[in-house]
Amino acid sequence: MNVALIGCSGMGVHHAGHATKAGFKIVACGDAIKERAVELASQYGADATTDCLSLCKRDDVDVVAVLTPTPFHTEYVVAAAEAGKNIFCEKPFGRTLEQCNTGIAAAEKAGVKLFVGHVVRYFQEFETIKAQIDAGKVGKVGFVRTYRGGICPVGAGNWFRDWDMSGGVTMDTIIHDFDWIRYVFGDPAQVFSQNLREQFDKAIDYAMVTFRMKSGIIVNTIGTWAHPGGFRVKVEVCGDNGMLQFDSSEAPLSVMMRETASGMPGMIVPGSPVGVSPYELEWHDFKNWLDGKGRPRVTPQDGVWAVRMALAALESADTGKPVAFN
């Protein structure tokens, strides 16, 4: 099955290898910066172009992988759908709910399959935690705490440090946790959040987000782009029969750092030391769906919900008031 990659920077490079391991063939790479497209394409014997929209119309392309900065996802999702291509879209699905709804509407109208890459659902550590909860090992869950982050990433053109583009640590980083929280504990009822947006021009962001779930469970999520270095993930689940804990600093969680041309860290992608990467697992899940072997673990609606939770957290931080989910 042939794939065209749109976006050949950090996540484009990262996903290319995992898609290939999952049985896809990279046939074309597109990026606004020609050198990036050429460099990635050369690794897979693929074509390179700066005309990314043209990739959606190629007869030899079965899947379009949208791996650009967040605000540009919708443009390519719509173009791919209109061309009849199945779509892999990196999270966040969109920067706004309007963008998300536009992307879903295009995919539904075209009858194509749309997958949103919320990879934490595929991390073996997180799946083990979910399995233990589902098996009742900690009893009735009452409180959950998660932590995720490290340095402020750079990304192509420094786009992570543009608030309107990235939405900071809330929209870009702990949206992973928002998705996993809803995956395990159901829909949220209300959120209250605080952050350090006033420090964002200094490449610092920190958010503390508290959800009250419809089930009554309280979830506290911390995201940081204020750490001096490294990357850390923590989870704590408290129930009336016990507690589950995971801390990447105490467990074998690998960290892969990608460098900019200056040699400075550009982004940090958490990895797993197990035999099959979670990123490869999500591509396998997507491929199975394309092959008619069941539904994927992540639906487009899940992608919308994660964005909705992030936007509500940002609204709460701006207003200083809780935000309810209807």
What is the per-residue pLDDT across 124-175, written as a single tens digit (0 to 9) for each?
A: 999 999 999 999 999 999 999 999 999 888 766 788 989 999 999 999 999 9
Give the pLDDT confidence score for residue 198 in this predicted structure.
87
Tokens of 287: 């491929």
Range 220-237 burial, b when 16+ CB lie within 10 A, else e: ebbbbbbeeeebbbebbb
What is the per-residue pLDDT across 274-304, written as a single tens digit (0 to 9) for each?
A: 678 999 999 999 999 999 999 999 999 999 9
Domains 2-117 and 120-276+297-324 share a fold: no
- What is the average pLDDT across 240-253? 83
Q: What is the pTM of this model?
A: 0.92
Output the average pLDDT for the chain.
92
Are 153 and 270 in contact by the 8 Å Cβ rule? The answer is: no
User: Which CATH code of 3.60.20.10, 3.40.50.1240, 3.20.20.70, 3.40.50.720 fits the domain covering 2-117?
Assistant: 3.40.50.720
Tokens of 189: 């009822």
User: Which CATH code of 3.20.20.210, 3.40.47.10, 3.40.50.10540, 3.30.360.10 fits the domain covering 120-276+297-324?
Assistant: 3.30.360.10
Q: Locate the domains of the chain by residue range.
A: 2-117, 120-276+297-324
Q: Residue 253: is its pLDDT beyond 70?
A: no
Range 160-191 burial, b when 16+ CB lie within 10 A, else e: bbeeebbbbbbbbbbbbbbbbbbbbbeebbeb
- Measured at the CA of 101, the angle between CA 98 and CA 103, to 5 degrees, comes to 110
CA–CA gap between residue 123 and residue 43 (Å, rounded): 27
Give the pLDDT confidence score for residue 152 in this predicted structure.
84
Cis peptide before 300 (omega within 30 of 0): no
CA–CA gap between residue 144 and residue 219 (Å, rounded): 5
Looking at the DSSP assignment, which residues form a beta bridge with residue 114?
87
What is the per-residue pLDDT across 75-131, written as a single tens digit (0 to 9) for each?
A: 999 999 999 999 999 999 999 999 999 999 999 999 999 999 999 999 999 999 999
Are 269 and 10 in contact by the 8 Å Cβ rule? The answer is: yes
HSE-up of 189 (CA within 13 Å, CB side)? 8
Give the pLDDT confidence score for residue 270 in this predicted structure.
58
Are 300 and 110 in contact by the 8 Å Cβ rule? The answer is: no
Q: Residue 268: is its pLDDT beyond 70?
A: no
Burial group, residue 45, by CB count within 10 angstroms (0-12, 13-18, 19+):
exposed
Give the pLDDT confidence score for residue 237 in this predicted structure.
97
Are 150 and 174 in contact by the 8 Å Cβ rule? The answer is: no
Q: What percent of the chain has pLDDT over 70?
A: 92
Q: How far is CA 73 from CA 78, 102, 114, 115, 146, in A?
A: 9, 11, 12, 12, 27
